[in-house]
Amino acid sequence: MHQDEAVIKIRPIEAFILTLLILGGISYAIIFAEAPPHVPVVLSIIALIIYGMIKKVSFKEIEAGVISGAKSGIGAVFLFFFIGMLISSWMASGTIPTFIYYALQIVDANYFYAICFIVSSIIGISIGSSLTTAATIGVAFMGVSSALGLSDAITAGAIISGAFFGDKMSPLSDTTNLASMTVGVDLFEHIKNMSYTTIPVFIMTLIAFIFLSPTNQTETDFSKIEALQAGLIQLDLVQWYALIPFLILTILAIKKIPAIITLSAGVLSAVIISFFVQSEMNLKQLMAILFNGYVSNTGTAEIDSLLTRGGMESMFFSISLVMLTLAMGGLFVKLGILNSLLEGIKKYLVKTWALITTTAGTAIGINFMLGEQYLSILLTGNTYKESYKKAGLHPKNLARVLEDSGTVINPLVPWSICGVFMTTVLGVETLEYLPFALFCLLSPIVTIIYGITGWTIKKLDD
């Protein structure tokens, strides 16, 4: 989807009112009416189709907008399927159960949320993917949290905060590479410049999770952990070689192998190992696990709840919502709504603080409108590139704002790709973990403060 695909021009005020009505309606339906997000999104698509027909846009063009929007999500759809299979195969091979077992051994209940944040950050930087981090170590930490009787919402917030810190600062991350390429800045110069805002936010987030973490866990909690560990051992799912799929995935990610190939290797290696971990495993069972997910039938509620996860089928809710949201985004572009909003904003930007604040607001707004972090980077970057040059600002300022306000906001939007994914994988609703995804919440605030004060804002001649 590109801005120049718009078939009509409308006034910025009209675009603003329409956007406010659409997003307000979706938010109201999800928050107050507790509707499944699919329903308000479909109703919004219908409303946009009616609006387009009133504006005398041919149905062929409207249909093209829907298709072009949905088409942009094909890559995400494949990724979701592979992640679903990854989780179920890693359960069957013992990879995630082994992670959980060792995490229960080495992770102290005290300062648990802070530890979740730090470990997720390290894994995120290592593999450059927030989604994969959440689907692997994140799932393990959610299990540990349940065993400790801690807050699922805060644990999910800590995992997501760490995953997106790692994703944002990793040279392996697709969003980091995309932001630097969009504005024409060297990748490592971009990462270095991001550290001025990201490191302070990391420290603030870590301090917050230290204060939120429990510091006086009872012996009852540890007896539950010991019982859970014993249960995992009895299932024979805890094996040192069960960690091989994770090592393979990490190595391929570091070597910048495409995500689909990397995930495929993670799935295939886990499938092979599952035959060694579970001697009774057969091909029919394996196919069912990959599609329906791994199902634990031990009779122990805690263990069964922990291990029954994954599968392609578990991703259908996410995939359908992503496709609907991106289809809606395609109509926003095709009907000229997004283009009009951006053009209406640009002409008022004459001061540095206004330019950076508006850039951040645009990246956030596109995440809410289109539910897609890549488009928030691409559309915002291309829209303001010339404005930064005219203001005498180095393009790396723009790249930093794109990441501070585009990349990290996506998991906070209930109908976005990352928001839906995190809810599906971690089992916590977006609005429940949102107040605790502190890194994601603080990043745009800090980048706006830097823009207002002029701290670390680089000029073209610097």
pLDDT digits (tens, 9 = 90+) for 58-73: 888 988 888 888 887 7
Picking from 310, 335, 365, the residue at the C-terminal end of a domain is 310
Digit-coded pLDDT (tens) for 387-429:
888 888 999 999 999 999 988 999 999 888 899 889 988 999 9
Residue 396 to residue 450: CA distance in whole angstroms: 14
Same domain (yes/no): 49, 89 = no
Is residue 302 within 8 A of residue 392, CB to CB? The reply is no
Kindly tell me if the per-residue pLDDT of 167 is higher than 90: no
Give me the count of residues in the chain. 462
Picking from 310, 343, 369, the residue at the C-terminal end of a domain is 310
Picking from 258, 278, 310, the residue at the C-terminal end of a domain is 310
Strand, coil or helix: 416? coil
For residue 461, is it within any domain?
no
Residue 211 to residue 10: CA distance in whole angstroms: 50
For residue 93, is it within any domain?
yes
For residue 204, is it within any domain?
yes
* Residue 384: domain span: 3-74+316-453
For residue 459, is it within any domain?
no
pLDDT of residue 235: 80
Q: Which of 101-115, 147-161, 446-460 has the lowest mean pLDDT?
A: 101-115
Is residue 162 within 8 A of residue 439, CB to CB? The reply is yes
Same domain (yes/no): 284, 327 = no
Same domain (yes/no): 242, 369 = no
Q: Is the backbone of residue 281 left (phi > 0), alpha (psi -120 to 50) or beta?
A: beta
pLDDT of residue 148: 78
For residue 192, is it within any domain?
yes
Same domain (yes/no): 304, 172 = yes
pTM: 0.70
Digit-coded pLDDT (tens) for 237-284:
888 888 899 888 878 877 778 778 888 898 999 999 999 888 788 888
Same domain (yes/no): 306, 321 = no
